[in-house]
Amino acid sequence: MSDTIVVSNRGPLTFRTGPDGSLVPVPAGGGLASSLHRLLGSSGTMWASVTMGAADREAVARGLMTEDGLDLVPVVVDDDTYRQAYDVVANTTLWYCHHHLFDLPHRPRFDRHWRAAWEGYRAYNRAVADVVVGRAAAGATVLVQDYHFSLLGRMLAERRPDLRSVHFLHTPFAAPAMLGVLPDAVAAELLDGMAGYSACGFHCRKWEADFTACYAAAGREAPRTFVAPLGPDAGVLEEEAASPGCAAAAVSLRTELAGRRIIARADRMEPSKNIVRGMLAFEELLLTHPEWRGEVVHVAFAYPSRQGLAEYLAYGADVVHTAERINHMFGSGGADGWTPILLSVEDDRARSLAALTLSDVLLINPVRDGLNLVAKEGPLLNAADGVLVLSHEAGAWEELSLAGRGALGVNPFDVSGTAEALHEALAMEAPERARRAGALREAVRARTSVDWWADQLAAAAPQG
For the bound state, the minimum distance from the C-beta of residue 49 to ligand F6P, rounded and expressed in Å, comes to 10
Residue spans of alpha helices (H) in 19-111: 31-40, 54-61, 79-82, 95-98
DSSP 147: G
Phi and psi torsions of 378, nearest 5°: -55, -60
Q: Which range, of 27-35, 98-106, 338-346, 436-444, touches ligand F6P by CB under 6 A?
A: 27-35
Are 135 and 48 contacting, i.e. CB atoms less than 8 angstroms apart?
yes
Closest CA to 121 of 160, 156, 159, 83: 83
Run of H or E residues at 3: strand 2-8
With CB under 6 A as the contact rule, the residue among 31, 229, 232, 366 that binds ligand F6P is 31
Are 151 and 193 contacting, i.e. CB atoms less than 8 angstroms apart?
yes
For the bound state, the minimum distance from the C-beta of residue 336 to ligand F6P, rounded and expressed in Å, comes to 39
Return the number of the residue (347 or 348) whose C-beta is nearest ligand F6P: 347
Contact status: 376 vs ligand F6P (CB under 6 A): no
For the bound state, the minimum distance from the C-beta of residue 264 to ligand F6P, rounded and expressed in Å, comes to 20
Return the number of the residue (164 or 170) whose C-beta is nearest ligand F6P: 170
Q: How many CB atoms lie within 10 A of CB 57?
A: 19
Q: Which range, of 25-33, 151-159, 233-241, 360-368, touches ligand F6P by CB under 6 A?
A: 25-33
For the bound state, the minimum distance from the C-beta of residue 306 to ligand F6P, rounded and expressed in Å, comes to 6
For the bound state, the minimum distance from the C-beta of residue 8 to ligand F6P, rounded and expressed in Å, comes to 8
With CB under 6 A as the contact rule, the residue among 16, 30, 209, 280 that binds ligand F6P is 30
Return the number of the residue (374 or 381) whose C-beta is nearest ligand F6P: 374
Return the number of the residue (97 or 361) whose C-beta is nearest ligand F6P: 97
Residues between 335 and 364 that touch ligand F6P (CB under 6 A): none
Contact status: 32 vs ligand F6P (CB under 6 A): yes
Q: Whole-angstrom Cα distance, residue 305 to residue 405?
A: 31
Classified as helix, coil or strand, 160 is coil
Return the number of the residue (371 or 426) whose C-beta is nearest ligand F6P: 371
Return the number of the residue (340 or 395) whose C-beta is nearest ligand F6P: 395
For the bound state, the minimum distance from the C-beta of residue 94 to ligand F6P, rounded and expressed in Å, comes to 10
Q: Which range, of 26-34, 126-134, 154-162, 331-339, touches ligand F6P by CB under 6 A?
A: 26-34
For the bound state, the minimum distance from the C-beta of residue 387 to ligand F6P, rounded and expressed in Å, comes to 25
Site string for ligand F6P, 390-419 (x = CB under 6 A): ------------------------------
Return the number of the residue (31 or 406) whose C-beta is nearest ligand F6P: 31
With CB under 6 A as the contact rule, the residue among 7, 77, 88, 146 that binds ligand F6P is 146
Return the number of the residue (32 or 343) whose C-beta is nearest ligand F6P: 32
Are 55 and 23 contacting, i.e. CB atoms less than 8 angstroms apart?
yes
Return the number of the residue (172 or 278) whose C-beta is nearest ligand F6P: 172
Rounded (10°) angle between helices 31-40 and 449-460:
80
Which CA distances in Å does 180 have to 152, 160, 216, 449? 21, 30, 13, 33
- 297: Cβ–Cβ under 8 A, 6 or more apart, which residues? 257, 260, 261, 262, 263, 338, 339, 340, 341, 342
How does DSSP assign 247-316, residue by residue?
HHHHHHHHHHHTT-EEEEEEEES-GGG-HHHHHHHHHHHHHH-GGGTTTEEEEEEEE---TT-HHHHHHH
How does DSSP assign 372-407, residue by residue?
-THHHHHHHH-SS-PEEEEETTBTTHHHHSSTT--P
Contact status: 305 vs ligand F6P (CB under 6 A): yes
How would you label 105-117 residue by residue, b for 16+ Cβ within 10 Å and e otherwise? Answer: eeebeeeeebeeb
With CB under 6 A as the contact rule, the residue among 7, 10, 167, 174 that binds ligand F6P is 10
Return the number of the residue (74 or 340) whose C-beta is nearest ligand F6P: 74
Q: Which range, of 24-32, 310-318, 321-329, 421-429, touches ligand F6P by CB under 6 A?
A: 24-32
Side chain identity at 57, as an amino acid letter? R
Site string for ligand F6P, 153-182 (x = CB under 6 A): -----------------xx-----------
For the bound state, the minimum distance from the C-beta of residue 29 to ligand F6P, rounded and expressed in Å, comes to 6
Run of H or E residues at 209: helix 205-217
How does DSSP assign 319-352, residue by residue?
HHHHHHHHHHHH-B-STT-B-SEEEE-S--HHHH
Q: Name the site residues for ligand F6P (rule: CB under 6 A).
A: 10, 30-32, 146, 170-171, 305-306, 370
